[in-house]
Chain A
Amino acid sequence: MDLHISHTTRYAYDTPVSYALQRLHLRPQSNIMQTVLDWTVTVDGGVIELTCEDHHGNVIDLVNTDRGATELTVTASGTVRTHDRAGVMGKVYGAAPLWHFMQDTALTKPSKDIRALARPLKSATDTLGACHALSAQILAAVPYLIGQTYTNTTADQALTGGAGVCQDHAHIMIAVARYAGFPARYVSGYLKLDDRIDQDASHAWAEVHLPTLGWVGFDVSNGISPDERYARLAIGCDASDAAPVKGMRLGDGDESLIVTLQVQQ
């Protein structure tokens, strides 16, 4: 399936910027699940200082906001041809070893509730089935609800709060899988929902490394493994490694952020 994607992130600052940097994870790479046919990243109100690979093999851009700017607009757009592999990325590895994806991160520390969720997976013989069951269990415990969590909400906080978005679902899945002894990682990307072109936000899901299949994706929010409607942007240990935009800014003043995203066939 050819997915035509246009993803715009617009920052508005109420005082002119003296110095601000944004690290973008906005360049999808070709792999066994997708072929990037064309892709561009453009910046208005700033410049791309450099483009390089990060330690997970993602391609990042470092953006410098123009001095005195009150607005920065980053647009990533292009076409990605996806291949349905039932969510199985397989035994494909980058520079980071599997043990790296077993490490706790600040956002995915195991709590008592997370440890309890891990019990069935820990002792499962059908690990794939157990992961799907776990995914359903997480969604039941944490229904999809916007506005209850933030970018720095931890897996435990979302689980305790009982509501969250795709990032929280992925974090809980990752925390549980790691505690059960399976390497797990965060995937950011896009999902074409069938009933609309304009999407609320970019998407995220979890990948768990199973002994026989290798990396397998689980989109907890939608209760499925990614199919051809999914395009991946970046991977990481948690959202902070793979977020589409992460930045720092000197000085005071408020900023507002508007994201517009279109994904269509």
Chain B
Amino acid sequence: MNTKPDHFDEMRMGDDQVRPPYANYKSWFDGQDPGRLAKKSKEAEAFFRRTGITFNVYGQMAAEERLIPFDLVPRIISGREWTKLSRGIEQRVRAINAFLHDIYNRQEILRAGRIPIDLIARNEAFLPQMMGFSPPGGVYTHIVGTDIVRTGEDDFFVLEDNARTPSGVSYMLENRETMLQMFPELFSRIKVRPVSDYPKNLRRSLAASAPKSCGGKPVIAVLTPGIYNSAYYEHSFLADQMGAELVEGHDLRVVDGHIAMRTTRGYKQIDVLYRRVDDEFLDPLTFNPKSMLGVPGIMDVYRAGNITIANAPGTGVADDKAIYSYMPDIIEFYTGEKAILKNVETFRCGEQDSLKYVLDNLAELVVKEVHGSGGYGMLVGPAASKKELADFADKLRARPSNYIAQPTLSLSTVPIMVKKGLAPRHVDLRPYVLVSPDGVDITPGGLTRVALTEGSLVVNSSQGGGTKDTWVLED
């Protein structure tokens, strides 16, 4: 697909005019020797190899480990833009937590008829075992990675809420670290808000979410499926940065009514478990009995109020793309306010009229599975062949309620470094949000993902996208 000529570029207005947030950077860039920058680009790659950030790509031969390409031109957001964005994100995240508490307890939103019951009742991510229970501090989504795209000066859309287990925060931190090492002079010239507090804030936020039964300083652990998981690097990185234990299911047992980990000096109680194991595998006594990754009995320990699980089991309901389509209603229902950030227009294929429209306009639409993520199993209409369109239409007719469709958005572009200098590429943004009983904390910045192929709109790292450092200016 070709880049539409009318897309919004975040660096340039018209031909030569530079947008204010980029003015300072652009004048620095213009003074640089292109040869030196090319060399820096290679250095950055070496840096990433050394720290070991690689990424397993599913669906490729032998799931080879690969480096996510890093582009050294930062994506720059003004302080004013960020203020609006973060207000919108906070509103959304608060609404999602209220929504999750409601559907697992009184279900007012269903009684009020604002959401069809079937969307919850038939939702694979809905966990009955969470009904009639309030997690410690009432928090469901301790860590959120809201995916945001931009189409114009004031047009920001939320693409996905990622209330379950957003990954990629290690890239946000490493990207900044790399930039600081390579261009220290830039950071004295331009005041960029730091992101390096994230691990400290994550720790504080998780500790503040500890159960009431926790007496002293909460013990925090990160539960990983193990070294074969594509995000293992991030699990060990975050545990290390937070000063928390990195554990696997077989390290944990129920001891004295709590979850405890094996140590050289016996078992030690864990108060907060940041788990990177999916719901289905979390507790073989409750969910999939074949799971070797989970902790048997943890749901009972949880319901007894003896541990915090972050994020709470069953938060995936909020990630369902059919639920997404109701998010403006959900925000209004729980906050009494209009949504600050826009939702992308979404056609629910389970509805007769929508299905007809989607089938008639498949070549212009993006179609996604309601439970899908990571760009797997989706159709980008404008980039698909006739055969791909026809095959997908069959899938749609067979299980319409499994899909939603959205118009192809004209994503904003930010320049990347190519041989000839700068060239625009489409981007999205995933800011990282921490929620605790103390409040909502959004790290200024986030992960900017960039579609490295000219004109491409698919930014997912699993589909060959790259990343950039994301700057929020102190202005």
| A interface with B by C-beta (< 8 Å) | 19, 21, 23, 49-55, 57, 60, 62, 64, 94-97, 99-100, 102-103, 237, 246-248
Contacts and interface: CB of A to CB of B under 8 A. Distances in A.
Nearest to A100: B128
B285 A103 contact: no
28 contacts: A21-B296, A23-B285, A49-B254, A49-B256, A50-B257, A50-B304, A51-B304, A52-B303, A53-B303, A55-B129, A55-B133, A60-B300, A62-B254, A62-B257, A62-B300, A94-B132, A95-B105, A95-B132, A96-B128, A96-B131, A96-B132, A97-B107, A97-B110, A99-B117, A100-B121, A100-B131, A103-B121, A246-B285
A60 B303 CA distance: 10
A103 B289 CA distance: 20
Nearest to B299: A54
A97 B128 CA distance: 10
B201 to A, nearest CB: 32
Interface in B252-295: 253-257, 284-285, 289
B121 to A, nearest CB: 5
Contacts of B107: 97
A226 to B, nearest CB: 25
Given A50-B254, A62-B304, 16 more contacts: A21-B297, A23-B300, A49-B254, A49-B300, A49-B301, A50-B300, A50-B304, A52-B304, A53-B303, A62-B254, A62-B300, A62-B301, A95-B133, A103-B121, A248-B285, A248-B296
B306 interface: yes
Contacts of A54: 129, 303
Contacts of A55: 128-133
Contacts of A237: 128
A51 B303 CA distance: 9
A32 to B, nearest CB: 19
Nearest to A98: B117
A50 B254 CA distance: 10
B256 to A, nearest CB: 7
Nearest to A94: B132
Interface string B453-470: 000000000000000000
A23 B287 CA distance: 13
Interface in B72-114: 105, 107, 110
Contacts of A100: 121, 128, 131
Nearest to B118: A99
B112 to A, nearest CB: 14
Contacts of B289: 248
B340 to A, nearest CB: 31
Contacts of B305: 52
B132 A57 contact: yes
4 smallest beta-carbon distances between A and B, as pairs = A95-B132, A52-B304, A50-B257, A55-B131
A95 to B, nearest CB: 3
B315 to A, nearest CB: 16
B257 A49 contact: yes
Interface string B305-322: 110000000000000000
B296 to A, nearest CB: 5
B247 to A, nearest CB: 16
Contact of B297 (A51, A62, A97): A62
A207 B289 CA distance: 27
A53 B306 CA distance: 13
Interface string B108-147: 0010000001000100000011111100000000000000
A19 B128 CA distance: 27
Contacts of A103: 121
Nearest to B300: A62
B300 A52 contact: yes
Nearest to A96: B131
A52 B297 CA distance: 12
A56 B105 CA distance: 12
B253 A19 contact: yes
B297 A23 contact: yes
Interface in B193-209: none
A110 to B, nearest CB: 15
A92 B255 CA distance: 36
A52 B306 CA distance: 11
B6 to A, nearest CB: 47
A54 B133 CA distance: 9
Contacts of B254: 21, 49-50, 62, 64
Contacts of B105: 95
Contacts of B301: 49-50, 62
Contacts of A23: 285, 297, 300
A97 to B, nearest CB: 6
Contacts of B131: 55, 95-96, 100
Contacts of A248: 284-285, 289, 296
A153 to B, nearest CB: 17
* Residue in B129, B253, B297 whose Cβ sees the most chain A Cβ within 10 Å: B297
Contact of A21 (B285, B303, B306): B285
Contacts of A102: 121
Contacts of A95: 105, 131-133
A99 B110 CA distance: 11
Nearest to B302: A52
A172 B117 CA distance: 25
A106 to B, nearest CB: 11
A247 B133 CA distance: 23
B282 to A, nearest CB: 14
Given A21-B254, A62-B300, A96-B128, A50 B306 contact: yes
A136 B23 CA distance: 83
Given A54-B303, A62-B254, A248-B285, A49 B117 contact: no
Nearest to A237: B128
A53 B132 contact: yes
Nearest to A19: B253
B121 A99 contact: yes
A103 to B, nearest CB: 6
Nearest to A97: B107
B334 to A, nearest CB: 19
A232 to B, nearest CB: 18
A51 B284 CA distance: 19
A50 B129 CA distance: 17
A67 B257 CA distance: 16
Contacts of B297: 21, 23, 49, 62
Nearest to B110: A97
Contacts of A99: 117, 121
A60 B121 CA distance: 25
A97 B253 CA distance: 33
B191 to A, nearest CB: 51
B46 to A, nearest CB: 45
